[in-house]
A and B are shown apart, each in its own frame.
Chain A
Amino acid sequence: MGLLTSLKDSISRVTDGLFAADEPKRIGIYGPPNAGKTTLANRIARDWTGDAVGPESHIPHETRRARRKENVEIERNGRKVTIDIVDTPGVTTKVDYKEFLDHDMDKEDAVRRSREATEGVAEAMHWLREDVDGVIYVLDSTTDPFTQVNTMLIGIIESQDLPALILANKTDLPESDVQQIANAFPQHETIPLSALEGENMDEVYTKIAEYFG
């Protein structure tokens, strides 16, 4: 009886392992506010599933809850990768409702938005520590990447040993400076793209398959 139980357990462990390998990897899309994370998540979801993930906006903290698009199958060079995309709120160390008053909001709406934003950032940090298998880190290539939030987040991702792909977004804008991002994080490969215009998405998908497959 003991031998049979032991054999059953061994078989169960092997089959669990096989199924675990087939399970979609949860890939968190992280970065500072307004880097284009939701635009990228929508671009990937539309290209491979036909659906969007969430609304995009130029107002900071439009995404205030982590949103997941499940079972996105990406085929590249004969390889098929299945991922769950987790679009996360932009990470920051401060949120002041007064900043939203500049975007035609009254105080009540601005306070509500700031409260939701703080909850969303806390949730995103929790996801990063507990619930993602890899990270796509999105940066706006028209802005200075040498910020404390970027330094801390890349450090956190590296300390968790998570595979990380750094994307330099908004290459369609004339001020774009991809090299500045490559210089800021030389230990990682930097892939340029415009999620809005769909530029260089072929390379992005190849790298997603390579990093997370």
Chain B
Amino acid sequence: MPGATPDVDGGDDPADDGVRIDMISGARMEGLTSMEKIRLILDGVREGNIVILEEGLSPDEESKLIEVTMTEISPDDFTGIEIETYPKPDSGSQSFLDKLMGRESTQKLTVIGPANRIETLHKDENLISTLVSRK
């Protein structure tokens, strides 16, 4: 499966010793369908990992991520996700050609984690500060 999370070496369950962070490049996400991206994210988050996307999701994919997350919430197991991105850049920063062609940049660093393990301490246009707890 193209979106499968790779195994990591060293120990039975590395998450027992700390918090695993998967930083996923834009290139890795580029060839995936919307649902493959969402599965890649949610599979990682449901294992307790923090997922960082270099280029984020499109608004339509964000909408589907919320919808699929809701269908997977279950009592005492998975309470949902915490997601943070930098605010969308002002449309004034887009080039005239991009506006003319309807091209909208979705590039925005995005941090996603299990709702019961990640807490946003501070967020502004230039800084996202989060507290990540162990299981």
Contacts and interface: CB of A to CB of B under 8 A. Distances in A.
Nearest to A118: B70
Contacts of A121: 66-67, 70
Contact of B73 (A118, A128, A155, A156): A118
A187 B87 contact: no
B134 interface: no
Contact of A96 (B70, B71, B79, B85): B79
Interface in A91-118: 91-97, 111, 114-115, 118
Contacts of B104: 159
A93 B60 contact: no
Contacts of A156: 59-60, 62-63
A92 B59 contact: no
What is the predominant secondary structure among interface residues of chain B facing chain A?
mixed
Given A146-B123, A151-B87, A91 B66 contact: yes
A30 to B, nearest CB: 12
B73 A114 contact: yes
Interface in A106-148: 111, 114-115, 118-119, 121-122, 125-126, 128-129, 146, 148
A95 B70 contact: yes
Contacts of B120: 148
Contacts of B115: 93-94, 96
A96 B83 contact: no
Contacts of B63: 125, 128-129, 152, 156
Contacts of A91: 66
Contacts of B79: 94-96
A92 B80 CA distance: 9
B107 interface: no
Interface string A49-92: 00000000000000000000000000000000000000000011
